[in-house]
Amino acid sequence: MRLQEKGRAQGRFAHQLIMTATPIPRTLAMTAYADLDVSVIDALPPGRTPVQTVVVPEQRREEVVARVAQACRSGRQVYWVCPLI
């Protein structure tokens, strides 16, 4: 919120604020130098359906949006990863 307020004070208005965190270096350091254990989950819980991961070309974006909307309406979950290029 402070970023939005600062932007308004400067006469700039953001349409979107994106926040990110990269805890990986900190986590690695804690694993090496602190008392942090590593756990590996290498099996699905009983009865869990495997996750399906697909790569879809830009030409099929409308189809993807329609399928994501349908999945959400059905109460399902969707995780959509968009690369920043």
Query: For position 65, what pLDDT does the model report?
Result: 92
pTM: 0.43
Q: In whole angstroms, give the CA distance from residue 63 to residue 65.
A: 5
Backbone angles phi, psi at 31, to 5 degrees: -65, -40
Q: In whole angstroms, give the CA distance from residue 4 to residue 16.
A: 10
Q: How confident is the model at residue 60 (pLDDT cuts 50, 70, 90)?
A: very high
Beta strand segments in 1-85, E: none
- Cβ(4)–Cβ(10) below 8 Å: no
